[in-house]
Amino acid sequence: MAPTTKRPSNSSWLNVLSSLLVPGLGQVLQGERTRGISLFATVIVLAGLIIWQSLSVLFIPLAALWLWGVWDTLQRERGRPSGPTAPFLLAALIVYAAGIKATEIVPRRIITGWPNIQPIVHALVRPELLKHPTEDRIGYLPLQVPCIEPLPEPGENASQEPRLHTNVRCAGMGETIILEGEGFFPEFETEIWWRNPIGDWQKVIKDGIPLTVVTDAEGRFQVSLQVPTTAVPLDRLPGPGETQTHRVEARQHKPYGSLQPTQTLSLVLNKIGETIALAFIATVLAVIFALPVSLLASRNLMWGNPASRAVYYAVRAVLNIVRSVETLMWAIIFVVWVGQGPYAGTLALLLHSIAALGKLYSEAIEGIDPGPIEAIRATGATWSQVVVYAVLPQFMPSFLSFTLYRWDINVRMSTVIGLVCDAGLGFLVIQWIRLSRYNAMATAIIAIVLVVAILDYVSAFLRQRVIEGVPSVRRRGWFRRYAVPAMVTIALLALFVWSWQVAQIDIATFVTGIPDGLRLASRFFPELITRPTEEVSVSAALPVPCGAAEPTPQPPSGPRVNLSLSCASPGDPLVITGHELPPNTRVSVRWLLPDGRYLRIQKDCCDTDSMGNFRLETKVHPLLEVNPQEEQIQPGGVAVVWKQAIGGPRPSEALTTTFNLSLVTLLMALIATTLGSVVAIPVSFFAARNVMGRSIVGQAIYNFSRTVFNLWRSIEPMILAVISASWLGFGPFAGVVALALNNIPNLAKLFSEAIEEIDAGPVEAITATGANRLQTLVYAVVPQLIPRFLAYILYQWDINIRMSTVIGYVGGGGIGQQFRTWVELDMYEAAGAAVLAIVVMVWSMDYISGRVREKMV
């Protein structure tokens, strides 16, 4: 193909010049409207990003992008269209640079924060499951630090049995003392602990490790140790000539009897039950509500007349809004309504499930083929027979599959819903991390992973059964025909009743709480626009006592305040009237004291009438009196103050904050998806059966990576966020890392499935042309993978946007963190703005990624 080169003509130079003036204009003039407009829009959006993050250095690549537009126009005039790689890279550079700044990514913190999560990581391999009950022997002794003259009596006593001695009664910090003990268990390990005057405990460290001694056969020991220099915080050190009472303690824990589950374990087991119960009850109730709703949301049933069509649109819209607000967000709202506890969690799960299932069921109904219905009707069947023989057989498989799928999601959600509402395993995690009980927390996290992984497997198994569709033809034998279904029904009923109890469902409270709920909901009406105001006042002087100063005359018209007295003594009755003030407005009427301070005369006063007048009767306040000693010339008086709008309406602070944080949230999702993909692409090849081959090593790698990905996937992103927030500090960076860590196994699994589904034909054909392995990879494998990988990445981005709206509840930054803060501060109208932003964001991203995926696959 010989490229044809034309020489640019005069009009071509005009196009090139217009590209220089306005990016994209040249392309539009050349007839490439989409190209020109998207270039223009890109430049504008990127400029906005740069200004928003005030990263002026990025104007260089932006200028390069602009120049590329000019160059592209020129090349086009010469008949050599250029590819989109260069502008794409430039735009990506700007977006990622701005994103890294907006999400506060500081890679250094990954290293510096490591000590913070080291105990957590250690704890994960040592969960608290079983332990021996112990018999404890503890001896303690007070010690005064530092020594002073005279030494006061210590503030506490020493233990009698067992007993401790030291060679001194007092010591300075870092001094070595000799500790002796008697009356302990013989030949048994003893830990030495130190308690500072504030009451904090620490282990005594000797030679860099915690000090333990072993008693002799008589139960005695002797050991030298240093008074810990770190025992007292710097701001609590004793002043000169003071001393503080410390305590040294020797502890023995002798186990006896058999292993018993720890309290942690029984608590975790209890909460596993609660988690499953919540998911179960929410799913069952959601099915009951979603079925009728889905009928109203089915196009084929509601398309008949305009009225039902309107109902269809309304129901669809409500379902979509409810769905795009995450379950955890609903949980926060329900906590405000019905209080902490499993009940709020259940309601949140239920509401979100109804919306999700309603949509899925309605799609199943819309997918029903009218052919079989016609055929059954043609046999002369009744309406109910048509339903049983033509409608249900088509609907049931998707119904069962969707319900199981939702149950799966509800189990996952109910493990983390406790992070906000005191229910299920998530609550234990958040509680124990706050108490730094890492081993206990690890137990809860492991429980979450197991519950999710097992129920994932069960539901996948059941769904597979449903899809394969073992047809329920007549089952043989009365046992299989009646007894098995009866037992299953009884078991499900029992599970339902138990779950109902656990979830603490209280219909009465719910019904009586409806007015409260509606009032609460109305306060969520987002405040988007405010008008800035300034305070305006008019005043009238009132000299107290008479003669203290000259009264000032009031203007005859305009806003003014008139007093019934021109001068007064304290306690005199006074009538204050306001005239020609703004009508129907709340004004504040205040004493203007001689020293310049204000004092509100009466609470909740006063409202002007439609003419702008008001009248208030009161008594003259004693503080108005002018102090004759201080030769004040300014008399006191009465001021009327009201707020007056200045300038036009402008976006409220909630709106601008929400807008900023929405951008941060989008960028968080983008960067997390990118990080996740970059790691997932190479590792996904280890989990692809066709890549790993049939050798023993290959099989082992395949099975190992599959297992790791599946277990890792079971760790909910919210749990990862809890951990990464204590690793990297609160903020969007923690959220990005949590999401990326969650994306790696998810994407790796999807990618490996895409790799396994590569069509071998083209690979064979390219190999047959004599291409080498690398060429075969580039020409036969990569073109097959790219579109599917991109589709999965977009899908993950979509999920990440949803997740990043809630990941902030536990310290992951973004809009979620702000939402929770606003709710906790009762700033509901701001929280409403956040909800609105999330709905808009989720909808638009849903739409965009849907369109892009449609195009690519």
Residues that bind other proteins in the complex, under the rule CB under 8 A? 1-2, 759, 761-762, 764-772, 774-775, 778-780, 783-784, 786-787
**What CA dihedral angle connects 811, 816, 821 and 827, to 10 degrees?**
180
Q: Which two tokens stand for residue 402?
A: 């969707």
Closest separation in Å from C-beta 773 to other proteins: 9
Closest separation in Å from C-beta 654 to other proteins: 46
Q: Which is nearer to other proteins, 89 or 521 (CB)?
A: 89
Closest separation in Å from C-beta 79 to other proteins: 15
Packing angle, helices 327-338 and 514-523, rounded to 10: 120
> Does the CA dihedral 774-777-783-787 come out positive or negative?
negative
Closest separation in Å from C-beta 789 to other proteins: 12
Q: Are 568 and 546 in contact (CB under 8 A)?
A: yes
Closest separation in Å from C-beta 405 to other proteins: 30
Nearest to 846 by CA among 797, 792, 804: 797
Angular region, 708: left φ>0, alpha ψ -120 to 50, beta rest: alpha
Q: Which is nearer to other proteins, 75 or 320 (CB)?
A: 75
Q: Which is nearer to other proteins, 110 or 681 (CB)?
A: 681
Q: Which is nearer to other proteins, 535 or 854 (CB)?
A: 854
How many whole angstroms separate alpha carbon 739 and alpha carbon 673? Answer: 8
Closest separation in Å from C-beta 760 to other proteins: 9
Q: Which is nearer to other proteins, 147 or 786 (CB)?
A: 786
Closest separation in Å from C-beta 694 to other proteins: 8
Would you mind telling me the total number of residues written for the chain in this entry?
857
Other Cβ atoms less than 10 A from the Cβ of 630: the count is 8
Burial string for 232-245 (b: 16+ CB within 10 Å, else e) reads: beeeeeeeeeebbb
How many whole angstroms separate alpha carbon 63 and alpha carbon 56? Answer: 11
Closest separation in Å from C-beta 776 to other proteins: 8
Q: Which is nearer to other proteins, 428 or 794 (CB)?
A: 794
Local structure of 237: helix, strand or coil:
coil
Q: Which is nearer to other proteins, 559 or 762 (CB)?
A: 762
Q: Are 747 and 709 in contact (CB under 8 A)?
A: no
Q: Which is nearer to other proteins, 661 or 780 (CB)?
A: 780
Closest separation in Å from C-beta 37 to other proteins: 24
Local structure of 258: helix, strand or coil:
coil
Closest separation in Å from C-beta 388 to other proteins: 43
Nearest to 834 by CA among 811, 846, 818, 856: 818
Closest separation in Å from C-beta 657 to other proteins: 44
Nearest to 675 by CA among 742, 752, 720: 742
The residue type at 447: A
Q: Which two tokens stand for residue 694?
A: 């049939």
Q: Which is nearer to other proteins, 390 or 791 (CB)?
A: 791
Closest separation in Å from C-beta 681 to other proteins: 17
Closest separation in Å from C-beta 780 to other proteins: 6
Local structure of 213: helix, strand or coil:
strand
The torsion angles phi and psi of 139, rounded to 5 degrees, stand at -115, 140
The neighbouring-strand residues paired with 637 are 541, 592
How many whole angstroms separate alpha carbon 333 and alpha carbon 421? Answer: 10
Element (H, E) at 618: strand 614-619
Q: Which is nearer to other proteins, 473 or 768 (CB)?
A: 768
Q: Which is nearer to other proteins, 3 or 555 (CB)?
A: 3
How many whole angstroms separate alpha carbon 288 and alpha carbon 357? Answer: 10
The residue type at 12: S
Q: Which is nearer to other proteins, 48 or 81 (CB)?
A: 81
Query: What spatial distance separates the first Cα and last Cα of the chain, rounded to whole Å?
Result: 30
How many whole angstroms separate alpha carbon 703 and alpha carbon 688? Answer: 10
The residue type at 469: G
Q: Which is nearer to other proteins, 85 or 160 (CB)?
A: 85
